[in-house]
Amino acid sequence: MVSTGWALPRVVVAAPASGHGKTTVATGLLGALRRRGLTVSPHKVGPDYIDPGYHGLAAGRPGRNLDPWLVGPERVAPLLRHGASVPTPADVAVIEGVMGLHDGAVGRRGYASTAHVATLVDAPVLLVLDTTAQGRSAAALVLGMRAFDERVRVGGVILNRVGSPRHETLLRDALAEVGVPVLGAVSRSVEVAAPSRHLGLVPVAERAPESLAVVAALADLVAATVDLDAVLDLARSAPPLTAPAWDPVAAVGGPASTAAVGGPPGTVAVGGPASTGGPTVAVAAGAAFTFSYAETAELLAAAGATVAPFDPLRDPGLPAGTRAVVIGGGFPEAHADALAGNAALRAELAAFDGPVVAECAGLLYLGRSLDGAPMCGRLDLTARMTGRLTLGYREAVAAADSPVTRAGERVRGHEFHRTVTDPGHGDTPAWRFDGAAHGFVDGRVHASYLHVHWAGRPHAARRLVQACR
């Protein structure tokens, strides 16, 4: 593992609350800095899968998550360093926060908040402020955000949704009084919006041409309204990053000479030279299954697998030689008819006798039906959309042995869905949390609503690859 200090310029884009424009500014910054010829590394605080898709499109490399709850605080800086190093070293890292600056896991005093991550990676904060209906009071708000935790350095502000030149002048003068520089001002008349859905923005993979246009427009907006040189100066004020880079090979317990990631053009081999010697693990991708952390494929490759993406919307069968299947989260409810129409793949998955790991969307896809549309039928359950959002961090205990768990193992994860299954769990559940059973372990299938980050439990990748053999 690399252990010398790295003077990686980095900045955290935060806000007093959700809805102030963090994603607009972070995505636009990534795109604008990349246009300058810089290699930019995109990161997101928290478990969210959708924003990193936009970040990745703007940066030209995978967006990665930094979440102390899911991976442990000791891995956050190493994961930042790893992400900023792969596939090439970055010139600057942009880290988008989550919710308000000091909002984290409920009842944990800011644990897993943007402020917490900013301290873990020792990065200055660029505060995005929605100035709608605010004048001089904006300075008091910024002053309070800066003073609330003296370990967090608010190095500048970007004013968002400014009403007029006079409004901007008033705000700049007020912030000058408290000594916080204004690094940009965005008028409310030039906002760029990406279409949203019941769980947030529509993922990039579902609307690629439109997403490209949105990202380009955000880069234009930030380039025209933000002092990029001042932002870079702020990022360069971060001290050297001394944490060693996270290493997927070390995380799974040793080198694997057969590790490879296969797939369409642009897919990066992350665990070693391309090879077909290791067992093939098929990983669901495409517009219906967009929720995946980049480290999952890296860990599988490091454990000796050949990782082969497949698209349940389009591919008539699993990749040749598939020995195990991973089906992550996404929006199958938005593609139920198309998934139902791929009867050949559904039948193959129903009969597949290798290990299968499914999270959230994968759980729904393995059931008998989703909102009446036939799914794989591998699990005896039905699923339907509801009007209720289930969202939050969870502390779970594995209820049974499976290809990726051992009974009694403790795991931290998160839920994020508006669907329910009937029944809610199998005779052998996958997890127990909040005083109840959840999910299904059925033969070699492990399926539940719980999302986990395998960087926080890398032995899952090793176990799955061993189960293939």
341 domain-assigned: yes
Task: Indicate if 63 and 100 belong to the same structural domain.
Answer: yes
Which range, of 60-69, 180-189, 430-439, averages the lowest pLDDT? Answer: 180-189
In a domain, 5, yes or no: no
Q: Tell me: the pLDDT tens digits for 369-422?
A: 999 999 999 999 999 999 898 899 999 999 999 999 999 999 999 999 999 999
Which has the higher per-residue pLDDT, 389 or 225?
Answer: 225
- 191 — pLDDT class (breaks 50, 70, 90): low
Asked if 286 and 332 touch (Cβ cutoff 8 Å), the reply is no
pLDDT tens for 312-341 read: 999 999 999 999 999 999 988 889 999 999
Q: Tell whether 107 is covered by a domain.
A: yes
| pLDDT at site 70 | 98
pLDDT surpassing 80 at residue 189 = no
300 and 221 in a common domain: no
Per-residue pLDDT tens for 273-296?
333 469 999 999 999 999 999 999
pLDDT of amino acid 190: 63
- The per-residue pLDDT for 431 is 98
Domain identity same for 15 and 115: yes
pTM of the model: 0.92
Average pLDDT over residues 422-443: 97
At residue 324, the pLDDT reads 98
DSSP string computed for 181-242? -EEEEEEGGG-----EETTEEPPGGGSHHHHHHHHHHHHHHHHHHB-HHHHHHHHHTSPPB-
Domain presence at residue 3: no
- Domain termination site, one of 194, 210, 236: 236
Cα–Cα distance, 261 to 307 (Å, whole number): 5
Does 2 map to a domain?
A: no
Mean pLDDT of 72-87: 98
Residue 258 has pLDDT above 60, yes or no: no
Average pLDDT over residues 53-81: 96
**Mean pLDDT to the nearest integer, 102-128:** 95
Same domain for 149 and 273?
A: no
pLDDT band at 102 (very low <50, low <70, confident <90, very high): very high
Percent of the chain with pLDDT over 90: 83
For residue 101, tell me if it sits in a domain. Answer: yes
Q: Measured between alpha carbons, how far is 43 from 49 in angstroms, rounded to an integer?
A: 11
Instruction: Using a pLDDT cut of 70, give the percent of the chain over it.
Output: 90
Residue 241 lies in a domain: no
Tell me which of 182, 209, 236 is where a domain ends: 236
Would you state the pLDDT for residue 277? 64
Quickly tell me which residue has 């900045």 as its tokens.
11
Domain identity same for 194 and 68: yes
Residue whose entry in the numeric block shows the structure tokens 């593992």: 1
Q: Last residue of some domain: 216, 236, 256?
A: 236
Residue 302 phi/psi, 5-degree rounding, is -65, -30
Asked whether residue 162 falls in the same domain as residue 292, the answer is no
Arithmetic mean of pLDDT, 231-244: 97
Pick 258 or 58 by higher pLDDT: 58
CATH of the domain at 134: 3.40.50.300
Residues 129-178 pLDDT 10s: 999 999 999 999 999 999 999 999 999 999 999 999 999 999 999 999 99
Measured in residues, the chain has a length of: 469
Given pLDDT bands bounded at 50, 70 and 90, which one contains residue 256?
Answer: low
Q: Are 39 and 144 members of one domain?
A: yes
Q: What residues are annotated to the active site?
A: 360
The winner for highest mean pLDDT among 1-5, 11-15, 269-273, 330-334 is 11-15
Range of the domain at 80: 10-236
Residue 275 and residue 129 share a domain = no
CATH number of the structural domain spanning residue 286: 3.40.50.880
Same domain, 180 and 41: yes
- Whether residue 332 is contained in a domain is answered as yes
CA distance 319 to 307: 10
pLDDT at 265 over 80: no
Half-sphere exposure of 171 (CA within 13 A, CB side): 29
Residues 182 and 252 placed together within one structural domain of the fold: no
Residue 257 confidence (pLDDT)? 41
Q: Give per-residue pLDDT as tens, 206-223.
A: 566 778 888 999 999 999
| Shared domain check, 108 and 18 | yes
Average pLDDT of every residue of the chain: 91
Number of structural domains found in the chain: 2
pLDDT at 268: 31
Within this chain, do residues 390 and 370 fall inside the same structural domain, yes or no? yes
User: Is pLDDT above 50 for 1?
Assistant: no
Beta strands at 322-327 and 154-162: parallel, antiparallel or unpaired:
unpaired
The pLDDT assigned to 212 comes to 84
What pLDDT does 184 receive?
97
Residues 251 and 268: their CA atoms lie apart, in Å, by 19
